[in-house]
Structure 1
Amino acid sequence: MNLRDALLASLANLPGSRQFHLHVLVSFPRKHSNLYPFASQPRPRTYLQDILILLSEQAGPDARRLFVSAIEASVYHIPSTSSAIVYVSKVDSTGQATAPSPTSTLVRAFLSYYANPSTRPLPVDHLWIHLFARAQSQYLFPNSADFPGKRPLTDVKLCAWWKRQLTSLAEELPNAKADGDTTLSTRLYYLLPGLGELEASYSLGHASTSSSVTWVYGHPYSQTDIPLPGVSNRNAAGVAPHIGQIIPWFDDDPKARFIDEIAYTTEADGVKSPERKRPRIIDRRSGPRVAEEEDVQDKAVDKRDAHGQKEEQTTKTLKKVSVSEFWERMSFRQECIAGAITGFFVMAVSSNSPQAVARSEVSPLAPQPGQVAPQLIKRVLASLMTGHEFPSVDRAAWSTKVLEESIRGLCDGLGTVPVANIGGNVAGSDRSTPEPTLTCAMPQTPPPRLLRVKHPVVDASPNPFPEPVTSLETYNAYIYGSLTVDNPGLPRKTPAEAGDDGKPKVTVLTVRRKKRAKP
C-alpha cells in the first residue's frame, strides 16, 4: 500500500457525509550531507526525501472544494545505521472543514505509515520521529488566521495535542505488527525548555492518560536502548560523540541554529586578527610562469591547512558542550523564552524485521513508482505560500481550484504554475490582467555556516538513476485520490436536565445567612 492509499483508508471512518480529495507529493531520494554537518569524517551517508500532503474537502457533490489540512515533512534515510528520521516541519489547517477536523487523523496516519514495519517503505530497523511544537496562527495557508472559523491552538494546547497524537500512535503500533517474529520497542521523549518535569506535566494536564505508554521527560541522546542514527558505533575507540554527531540538523529548527552558533563562537578575547601572509618571492632564474605556479600551489596548501584548522577548532568547541548543558542552555534561547511555551518531541521505534533485510538489496537512490522531482514540490509549496490566501470561503475555493489544477498540470508536463489573483477577484469573476507565472523558490533559513566556507561539502559521485518523469498515469495512480465518506454524524450534545419546554433548567442557589450568637 502506498502512502496515498494509506491516508485515504484512515479517513474512511470519520463521522459525517463529505468527500475528500488528497494530493500526496513524495520526492525521489537524493544525497544529503547536512543532517550531521559537524560530524567527523567520514560523515554518515544520508538520503533525503521531501513530502507535501494537501487535503481538500467537499461538503456535497455540488459544493466547492476547500483545502482543510496540509503536512510538510522530510524523511532522512541512513543505511549505515539502518535508521530513518521523519521530521515534521509544518502542520496546518484552514478551519473550513466539517466537524470533526481530519487533521488529527491525517497526521496519525502519516506517522503510522512510517512507524509501522509492515507499511514502512524504507528497509530500516530504527525509525525516529522528530518535531518542534511552536504555536502560530498559520503555517502553510496564508491569511487563514483571518477566517472566523479557524481556532488556532495556544502554546500549551498545541504541545498537549502533539503528545496525544504520539501517544495514540504508540498505542496502535503493538497491534499492527508485520508478523509474529517482529518485536517492537518504542520510546517517547518530550521536553518543554524552561520548565521542570512537574511544571511540564502540570501544564499539559492529562494529555497522556494511557498506562501502557510511558513518556520520558528529557532528550533521547543519552540512552543506549535504541542506536542513534548518526553514530554507527558509539563505543569506537572509547570516545563519546559530541553534540554535532548525535543531534540532527533540520531546516528551520532552533536546535540547528544553536549548534551552528556554538560551533562558530569565538574565544572570550574577541576576534583574532588574520595571520600575516608570507611574502611573495620571485625567482628570476625560473621566470615568472614558474613563480606563479609555485604561488598557486602555496595558496592551495594554505587554504587546506586553514580549512583543517577551522574544522578542528569547530570540533573542539562542540566537544566543550555536553548534551545536558546543551539542553539547559536551550532554555535561554529566544525561540524558547519569547513568552510562549514550546516543546521538543521525539519518538523512536525499533524493530528487527526480516522484511527489512530482504528489501535492503535495493539501492537507496533508486526512485520508486509515484515519486516526483524535488523541484516540483518546491514550486507547488512556493505557489501555496506566496500566491494564495485563505481568509474566506470564496478565496479559499479559488486558491484550492488553482493549486489543484497546477499540480495536475505539472504532472502532465506543463511548465507554469498559475497564481491566484489576490487583488480582489474571486472564482467566476472577470480578470483584467493575466495570471503571473511563479518561478521563485520557497524562502528558507540559511544553511549551516559550515557550507558557507570556501570548501563546501559536495557529493563527488552523481546519482546513477535518471530523474523520474511524471505523467497523468502517475498522477492518478499515486498522487491524487478521492474518497466519499457517508457515516453517521457526531451526536448532538443534549443537556443532562431539561424542563417541560426543552430548555435546560437553571438552579439558583440561595445564600444562607449565618445566625449571630446572642449576647
Structure 2
Amino acid sequence: MNLRDALLASLSSLPGIREFHLHVLVSSPRKHGNLFPFATPRPRTYLQDILILLSEQSTPDSPRVLVSAIEACVYNIPSTSCAILYISKVDSTGQAIAPSPTPALVRALILFYADPATRPVSADHLWIHLFARAQNQYLFPNSSEYPKKHPLSDIKLCAWWKRQFSTVTGELASRVGDTCRTKLYYLLPGLSEFEASHSLERIYPSTDLAITWTYGHPYSQTEIPLPCPCPSGGDSHRHLGQCIPSFDDDPKSRFIDEIAYTTDADGVRSPERKKRPRTDTLKSHHEEDAASGEASEKKEGRSKKEDQTHKEVKKVSAEEFWERMSFRQECIAGAVTGFFVVAVSATKSSPLLTSDVSPLAPQPGQVSAQMNKRVLTSILTGHEFPSTEKAVWSTKVLEDTIRGLCDGLKSNPRPTLALDRSGRRTPEPEPARTTLAPPQTPPPRLVNGKRPIVDVSPNPFPEPVASLETYNSYIFGSVAVNKPPPPKKDSSDASGAGNGTTPTITVLTARKKRTKS
C-alpha cells in the first residue's frame, strides 16, 4: 500500500455524503547535510518532501474546492537506522463539510510512517517532531477571511495535537502489539507540568490510560537510539548539537544558532577588518609563498571558528536549553506553543525494503523535488482562499497544474496569424495562462552567516520524471463517501464537563422576605 491509498482508506470511513479528491506529492531522496550542523562528523542524511492536497465535492455536479493541506519532510539517517518525520504545516480552508477530514488525514499520514509494515523508509526507529504554534492560516493565503473557518487557539491547538498523537499510538499498538515500543514527549515552554497537563486535559480529557506522556525532552533516555550517531559509540557524552535536529522555520534551530555564534557577553563578534593588499610588484615565488600562507591562515581561522562554535554548543545542556527556551520570543509572545516528539522503535526492519537498496534510489511514484517546490510556491504566492469562488478557481488551477506537470507541460503554441479585410495578418489573442511560472533558482541562502555545506558527490540516480501513469497510480486518487451524517450535538452539551453527558442544572429560587402588616 502506498501513501495515497492509505490516506484514501482513512477518508472512506468519514460520515457524510461527499467525494474526496486527493493529490500526494513525495519527492525522491536527496542528500542533506544540515540536519545536525554542529555534529562532527555530520551524519549522512537523505531528505524527502511531502505535500498533500485534499479537495472536496459535495455533489457530482458541484465544483471541487480545496479543504486541507499538509506539508512534511522525511529524513533518513542510515548510520543509526533512524528516520525523522517532521510535520511542518497543516492547514484547512474551512470549506469542508462537517466533520472536517483534516484529523483523519493527519492521523493516516503519521500512522503510515509509524507502522513498520507500511513505512517506506528502511529504518528501525522513527522520530516524529512537531512544533505547534497557533496562527490564522498556514498554507492557504487569506483563508482566515472565510467566515466559516475557525482556527484553534493556542491551548486548543496543543491539546488537539496531543489527542491526534495519542489516537495514533493507540491504533499502532492494536496493529503491532508488543513488537514496537513508543515513547511520547511534549513540552509547553513557560508552563510547569501541572499547568500544562491541567490546561490540555481540560479541553480533551484522556480516554486511554495506557498511553503515557512524558513532560520534557527525549534526549536523556537511552532505550531508543537518537538519530545522530555519537562519535564515542555511546550516548553518555552527547552535546546539544548531537541531540536536537535543525529544521526550517523552527525556533529550536534559531536558538542553537544564536548559542553557537555568540562568543561573549557583547554578542556576536564582528569580523576583523582586513588590510588592503600591497600594490607593489613582487617576484613570483614571493607571491606564491604569500598566497599559500594566506590560504593556510584562512583555513586555520575557519577551523578555529568551528571549534569555537562547537565549544559554545557544548557548554549548554539539554535541560538548560529548554529552560532558556521558555524565555524566547516565539514562546512568550502572548500565546502558548508546544513541542511534541514521538519515538517509535520496531524490533525488526520493514519487510518492504532491504539494506541492499541505496537510500538515494527513487521509489515508484516519487517526483522531483523541483516539482514539489513549484506546486507549494504556487499555493503560497499565486492563489487566495477568502471565498468559495476564489477557492474553486484556485483548486481547478492547482489540480490542472499538477496533472500538467505529470503529463509534461509543453510550451504554448505560437499564435496563428489570420488575414483581416485589408489583407494584413493579425495575431490571435493569446489564451489565458493557467500554468505555473517557469521555476527560478533563488540565490544560495546564508546559514549562520556563511554558505551551507552541501555534499558535492554526484547522485548516481537521475531525477524521476513523472508521467500520467505515475499520476493515476500514485499521485491522484478519489473516494466517494455515502454514509449518514453524524448526529448534531445538543447545544446544552457545550457546557458539560467534557464527558459527553448533559450536566444537571439546579435552579435556585430566592425566598421572599415577609413584611409585617
TM-score normalised to the size of structure 2? 0.88
The aligned residue for residue 108 of structure 2 is 109
Change in Cα spacing, 1:155 to 1:270, as seen in structure 2 (3 Å) is closer
Whether the 8 Å contact between 1:378 and 1:442 is mirrored in structure 2 is: no
Contact kept, 8 Å, 1:381 with 1:442, in 2: the verdict is no
Q: Distance in 2 between matches of 1:319 and 1:116?
A: 35
Specify the alignment match of 1:244 in structure 2: 241
- Residue 50 of structure 1 deviates from its aligned partner by 0.3
Distance 1:294 1:62, change over 3 A: same
Matches within 5 A, 1:292-441: 292-355=287-350, 359-414=354-409, 437-439=436-438
Deviations 1:356-415 (A, max 9, x none): 596121100000011001010111001001111111111100000000000001111116
Aligned to 2:284: 289
Judged with a 3 Å threshold, the aligned counterparts in structure 2 of structure 1 residues 98 and 26 are, in CA distance, closer, same or farther, namely same
* CA–CA distance in structure 2, aligned partners of residues 256 and 369 of structure 1: 33
Tell me which moved more, 475-484 or 263-272. Answer: 263-272
AA in 2 matched with 1:228: L
Distance 1:341 1:496 in 2: 29
Distance 1:261 1:391, change over 3 A: same
The CA distance in 2 between the partners of 1:517 and 1:488, in whole Å, is 61
User: In structure 1, what is the Cα distance between the partners aligned to 2:444 and 2:153?
Assistant: 25
* 1:8 correspondence with 2:4: no
1:39 equivalent in structure 2: 39
In 2 relative to 1, CA 282–103 (structure 1 residues): closer, same or farther, beyond 3 Å?
Answer: closer
CA distance in 1, matches of 2:311, 2:212: 36
Distance change >3 Å, CA 390–CA 354, structure 1 → 2? closer
User: Equivalent pairs: percent with the same residue?
Assistant: 62
What is the CA–CA distance in structure 2 between the aligned matches of 1:152 and 1:143, rounded to whole Å?
Answer: 13
Task: String of CA shifts for 1:152-174, please: whole Å, max 9, x gaps.
Answer: 00001000000000000000011
Unmatched 5+ stretches in structure 2: 413-428, 494-504
- What's 1:151 paired with? 150
- Please state whether the residue corresponding to 2:283 is helix, strand or coil: helix
Partner of 1:423: none
Over 3 Å counting, the alpha-carbon distance change for 1:282 and 1:99 in structure 2 is closer
Which residue of 254, 277, 288 corresponds with 1:257?
Answer: 254
Is 1:485 equivalent to 2:495 in the alignment?
no
Cα deviation, residue 416, structure 1: 7.8
User: For residue 500 of structure 1, what is the aligned residue in structure 2?
Assistant: none
RMSD: 3.1
Match of 2:457 in 1: 461
The residue number in structure 1 matching 2:220 is 222
Give the C-alpha shift of residue 443 in structure 1.
9.3
**Are 2:109 and 1:79 aligned?**
no
Counterpart secondary structure, 2:333: coil
Shift of 1:496: 9.0
Displacement of 1:513 in angstroms is 1.9
Per-residue deviation at 1:336? 0.3
- C-alpha distance in 1, partners of 2:301/2:167? 51
* Alignment check: 8 A CA contact 1:379 1:441 kept: no
How far 1:440 moved relative to its partner? 5.8
- The whole-number CA distance in structure 1 between the counterparts of 2:288 and 2:125 is 52
TM-fit CA distance, 1:111: 0.4
Does the 8 Å CA contact 1:141/1:390 hold for their aligned counterparts? yes
* Deviation for aligned residue 1:346: 0.5
1:458 Cα deviation (Å)? Answer: 2.5
CA shift digits 1:403-438 (9 cap, x unpaired): 000000111111689xxxxxxxxxxxx999766852
1:39 is aligned with what amino acid? A
Per-residue deviation, residues 323-362 of structure 1 (Å, max 9, x unmatched)? 0000000000000000000000000000111545961211
1:372 is matched by which residue type in structure 2?
Answer: V
Give me the whole-angstrom Cα distance separating, in 2, the residues matched to 1:299 and 1:356. Answer: 54
For structure 1, list consecutive stretches of 5 or more residues without a partner in the other structure: 418-429, 498-506
Tell me how far apart the structure 1 counterparts of residues 490 and 312 of structure 2 sit (CA, whole Å).
Answer: 63
Q: Structure 1: how far apart are the matches of 2:383 and 2:450? A: 37
Kindly state the Cα deviation for residue 231 of structure 1 after the two structures are TM-superposed. Answer: 2.3
Structure 2 CA distance for aligned equivalents of residues 372 and 295 of structure 1: 50
Give the conservation status (yes or no) of the 8 Å contact 2:127–2:344: yes
- Relative distance call for 1:479 and 1:317 in structure 2 (3 A) is same
Partner secondary structure for residue 72 of structure 2: strand
Contact 2:53 2:66 (8 Å CA) reproduced = yes
Partner SS state of residue 353, structure 1: coil
Partner of 2:91: 92
Distance 1:344 1:441, change over 3 A: farther
Aligned equivalent of 1:161:
160
SS of 1:205's equivalent in the other structure is: helix
Contact 2:378 2:436 in 1 (8 A): no
Distance of aligned partners of 1:111 and 1:138 in 2 relative to their CA distance in 1, 3 Å threshold = same
Compute the displacement of 1:114 (Å): 0.1
Structure 1's 445 and 4: CA in aligned 2 closer, same or farther, altered over 3 A?
A: farther
Taking structure 1 as reference, are residues 331 and 66 closer, same or farther at Cα in structure 2, changes over 3 Å only? same
* Contact 2:247-2:253 at 8 Å conserved across structures: yes
SS in 2 for 1:259: helix
Q: Point out the more displaced range, 289-298 or 156-165.
A: 289-298
**Alpha carbons of structure 1 residues 444 and 115: separation in structure 2 relative to 1, 3 Å:** farther
After the TM superposition, which of the residue ranges 238-247 and 196-205 deviates more from structure 2?
238-247
| Contact preservation (8 Å) 1:72, 1:90 | yes
Give the drift of 1:272.
Answer: 5.6
Query: 2 CA distance for matches of 1:123 and 1:98?
Result: 38
Structure-2 change in CA distance of 1:246 and 1:73 (3 Å): same
Classify the secondary structure of the residue corresponding to 2:361. Answer: coil
Distance 1:16 1:201 in 2: 34
Q: Which of residues 465, 470, 474 is equivalent to 1:474? A: 470
Aligned mates of 1:279, 1:338 — CA distance in 2: 46
Aligned equivalent of 1:425:
none
Q: Do 2:240 and 2:314's aligned partners in 1 also have CA atoms closer than 8 Å?
A: yes
Are the equivalent residues in 2 in contact too, given 1:378–1:441 (CA < 8 A)?
no
Give 1:123 shift: 1.2
Q: 2:185 aligns with which of 170, 182, 189?
A: 189
Q: Deviations over 1:179-225 (max 9, x none)?
A: x8x71100000000000001101111253331010000001111111
Distance 1:275 1:495 in 2: 68
> How big is each residue's C-alpha offset from its partner over 1:44-84, in whole Å with a ceiling of 9 and x where there is no partner?
10000000000000001001100000000000000000000
How many residue pairs get aligned? The number is: 488
Deviation at 1:291, TM superposition (A): 2.1
For 2:8, the aligned partner's letter is: L
| Closer, same or farther: CA 62–242 of 1 in aligned 2, 3 Å | same
Secondary structure of the residue aligned to 1:186 is: strand
Aligned residue for 2:219, secondary structure, equals coil
1:346 partner SS = strand
Answer yes or no: is 1:512 the counterpart of 2:485. Answer: no
Write the distance in 2 (CA, Å) between the matches of 1:272 and 1:260: 14
Could you state the TM-score of these two structures normalised by the residue count of structure 1? 0.87
SS in structure 1 at match of 2:49:
strand
Change (3 A) 1:358 1:16: closer
Which residue of 2 is the match for residue 63 of structure 1?
62
Q: Is the 8 A contact 2:128 2:342 kept in 1?
A: yes
1:28 corresponding residue in structure 2: 28
Deviation at residue 268 of structure 1 after TM alignment: 2.2
Q: 3-state DSSP class of the match of 1:62?
A: coil
SS across alignment from 2:301: helix
Inter-CA distance 124–453: structure 2 relative to 1 (3 Å threshold): same
2:126 corresponding residue in structure 1: 127
Take 2:265 and 2:67, find their aligned partners in 1: how far apart are those partners? 51
Confirm or deny: 8 A CA contact 1:124 1:356 kept in the other structure. no
